[in-house]
Chains A and B, each alone.
Chain A
Amino acid sequence: MSETATEHIVRFREVVKTYDDDGLKVTAVDGVSFEIPRRRFAMIVGPSGSGKTTLLNLTGCIDTPTAGRIEVCGEDVAALSDNAVTDFRSRNIAFIFQNFNLFPVLSAYENVEYPLLLLGIAAGERRERTLAMLESVGLADQQAHRPNQLSGGQKQRVAIARALVKKPELVLADEPTANLDTQTGASIIDLMRRVQREQAASFIFSTHDPQLISHAEETFVIRDGRLVEHRSEADR
């Protein structure tokens, strides 16, 4: 692995993603190349249908490119088998979804504990880390609640705790504030920013809300599947 590769959490080289929609070819990502340094709070901005989610899916290794090369955490993910890429996700990548995607049959505590079970972490350490994470997002008192007993903001806090509890290298958030009111959305962004600093993780999240751009250290603007602008905090 080269020096350059390990400096970046994500590297895209001429990545193309085309969908076949009932015989109609739709290009969601069209020859995109970029790299995101490690431990950055990066944002992908663009209007609906611009290809933000596809870009995040490709970054999260839950979708495969039609062409081009993607490196995540220094690994060429296209070369991995289905099981290997699943294990890779389990170890290195966490997701925060727009619709929270908590397991409805599990309590807040169990939802946060779930990724640690997948990693085979011992019960004692699991409990310690889960409780610390719930404490960190301010939900220690709601740990026994099921998702249907939590507000939208609380659900997203549980989702953030679930994403960060395994200490991933990369956290991907697809419009995490889209289903929240402005005040709650802002507090969720603040929370994500705080835990990102605490854990020194790399965050990439997508949004079409221009008000959130000020929080980003790296901003990638995408339109019609093409990267049209890249702004870095260092450039300002």
Chain B
Amino acid sequence: MMLVKIASRNILRNARRSLMTMSAIAVGATALVLFGEFVANMTTGLQTQTVRRSGHLSVFRTGYFNFGAGNPAAYGIGDYRSVIRLINEDRLLEPLVNVVTPTVTLFGIAGNFDIDASKTFLGFGAVPSDRDRMRQWDEYGVFRNLVLEDSGLRDDDETRGVVGVGLARILGLCASLKLADCPPRPQTAESPSLKSSARAGALQELAQRDRDTSPSLSNGGAPRLDLLAGTAGGAPNVLSLYVSRAEPQGVKELDDNFVAMHFALAQQLLYGRGERKALGIVLQLHRTEDMPTARARLVTLFTERGLDLEVRDFTELQPFYKQVIGLFGAIFSFIAVIMGVIVLFTVVNTMSMSVMERTSEIGTARAMGVRRRGIRRQFLIEGWMLGAIGATVGLILASVIAFLINRSGFMWTPPSQAAAVPLRVLTSGVGPLNLGVWLGLVVMATLAALLPANRAARLAVVDALRHV
């Protein structure tokens, strides 16, 4: 108790110097906590976007992940319904899983013959109601105040689809979809090239032939695209898609190629009149922390049943996610190291000054019977107190600033997101971050005091008493 009393009074003894030291620690704590909370908000936001789109886990035929892009149809899961039933009925998985849904991914050419335009596309086939449920997922509450737009797909209408804004622009759908921020299509000096005209013509002919055999194609005046894809058997297959809306995709390459469609339509495009398969089965869990458990259980289930399936999580399917997390983690570590070094030098300087000024007191205490370790402990406690007070003030300051930021109304566009979102820092569930920053800085301050404390403890008593 006396040690703490002496330490606190010595801190107040040179109040200005102590204040500067604690301010440096407080600024370090504030910066680290705010940046950590910003990163946490961005990470959870990015994770939420990714999980809403791709789920947590995806089940593929073995080999699809590495080689499927070359021939997706060859890696279809024929009995996908029984696999989904197997997952849904599993005692261990059932409480963990939010959505289990089949998907089809395909490549092809989309054409708008009204303007003789065509473009390769990347198609995603999903069950609309499942997709809608997946879009509601918000484990961390980061989008709780944002209203979701209509998904544009309906279970009862296989012909509806959604395209990326870039693709809509390229294929001349701006006016019909009433897209804002969509520049007018420039008039080219020459007519379309013979090659592209011929390709559009061929596509139109195929579409006309297909339409002749299709039932109802009317769809509330939505603009129509014709999609051409190669079937599993190698034959060209064309179907019409009525675009209900365009959705920005954040990454230009995806935005210029994205087509979301009904699962059945995607199956029809890829497999024609053959056996309809799924290329993947997506699982969205209630909680991300259950991902390893669910994955392990899926692997066990498939092994037990002798199913030739593999499981991948969203971090494998979306390398961008890992890259962004890694980048911000590295920046955070860099800032933490800089702050740590600043705290180290500041505390070493302060404590060294203190040891120098109190040399005679150290000699007196030693003469009175205080052991070397008692002197060391005295200065370590002072370093610890400087760190603890500074870090605590820093955390309080960070809370106030975080409160102000979250109510500032500033907007920004995070990586891989198309639309601007409010600039926020995550203030819930960041206890470990705050504790880590507090402990880190306090430990750093205490360690910084160790050097001057050792010097004080090693002083010869007579030399210390002689010190003026």
Chain A residues close to B by CB (< 8 Å) = 57, 60, 62-63, 82-83, 86-87, 89-91, 94-95, 97, 99, 101, 103-106, 110, 114-115, 117-119
Do A62 and B366 touch (CB < 8 A)? yes
Chain B neighbourhood of A97, CB < 8 A: 364, 465
Does the CB pair B370–A118 fall under 8 Å?
Answer: yes
Q: Which of A60, A91, A99, A106 contacts B367 (CB 8 A)?
A: A60
Is A115 a contact partner of B368 (Cβ separation < 8 A)? yes
In the complex, the chain B residue whose C-beta lies closest to that of A146 is: B9
CB of B49 closer than 8 Å to a CB of A: no
Query: Do A90 and B369 touch across chains, with their CB atoms under 8 A apart?
Result: yes
Complex CA gap A99/B467 in Å reads 11
Q: Which residues of A contact B6 (CB under 8 A)?
A: 103, 105-106
Q: Interface of chain B, helix or strand or loop or mixed?
A: helix
A sample of 9 cross-chain residue pairs with beta-carbon separation below 8 angstroms, ordered by A number, consists of A95-B368, A97-B465, A101-B361, A101-B465, A103-B361, A103-B365, A106-B5, A106-B6, A114-B368
Given contacts A86-B372, A101-B363, A101-B364, 15 further A-B contacts (CB under 8 A): A62-B462, A83-B371, A83-B372, A86-B371, A87-B371, A90-B368, A91-B369, A95-B368, A99-B360, A101-B465, A103-B6, A103-B361, A104-B361, A105-B13, A114-B2
- 8 cross-chain pairs, A with B, having the tightest CB-CB distances, nearest first: A90-B369, A105-B9, A62-B461, A101-B364, A63-B462, A89-B369, A118-B369, A86-B371
B328 to chain A, nearest CB (A): 45
Point out the residues of chain A lying under 8 angstroms from B366, CB to CB. Answer: 62, 86
Interface residue? B10 (CB, 8 A): yes
Interface size of B as a range: 20 to 34
Number of A-B contacts (CB under 8 A): 63
Q: Are B364 and A103 in touch, CB under 8 angstroms?
A: yes
By a CB distance below 8 angstroms, the chain A residues around B370 are: 86, 90, 118
- Specify which chain A residues have a CB less than 8 angstroms from the CB of B462 in the assembled complex: 57, 62-63
Known: A62-B461, A105-B10. A87 touches B368 (CB 8 A): no
Q: Which residue of A lies closest to B7 (CB)?
A: A105
Min Cβ gap B13→A in Å is 6
- Verify B367–A62 contact, CB threshold 8 A: yes
Complex Cα distance, B359 from A45, in Å, reads: 28
Q: Which residues from 1 to 43 on chain B have a C-beta closer than 8 Å to any C-beta of chain A?
A: 2, 5-6, 9-10, 13
Rounded to whole Å, the gap between the CB of B363 and the closest CB of chain A is 8
Inter-chain contact B369/A86, CB cutoff 8 Å: yes
B contact residues around A99 at 8 Å (CB)? 360
* Minimal Cβ-Cβ distance residue in B for A172: B367
Q: Which residue of the partner chain, among B365, B367, B369, contacts A87 with CB atoms under 8 Å?
A: B369
Closest to A82 in B: B372
Given contact pairs A104-B13, A105-B13, A114-B2, A89 touches B364 in the complex (Cβ within 8 A):
no
B431 to chain A, nearest CB (A): 36
* Cβ-defined contact, B13 with A89, below 8 A: no
User: In the complex, A30→B179 CA distance in Å?
Assistant: 103
Contacts of B360 in A (CB 8 A): 99, 101
State A119–B364 Cα separation when bound (angstroms): 16
Contacts of A82 in B (CB 8 A): 371-372
Hey, which chain A residues are within 8 Å of B368, CB to CB?
Answer: 89-90, 94-95, 114-115, 118
* Cβ B10 vs Cβ A89 within 8 A: no
Q: Which residue of A lies closest to B10 (CB)?
A: A105
How far is it, in angstroms, between the C-alpha of A155 and the C-alpha of B10 when the chains are bound? 20
User: Given the complex, which residues of B lie within 8 Å of A83, measured CB to CB?
Assistant: 371-372
Chain B residues with CB under 8 Å of A119's CB are 369
Please state if B367 and A89 are interface contacts (CB–CB under 8 Å). Answer: yes
**B-chain residues with CB within 8 Å of residue A91 when the two chains form the complex:** 369
Considering the chains assembled together, what is the distance between the CA atoms of A117 and B10 in angstroms? 19
Chain B residue contacts of A101, Cβ below 8 A: 360-361, 363-364, 465
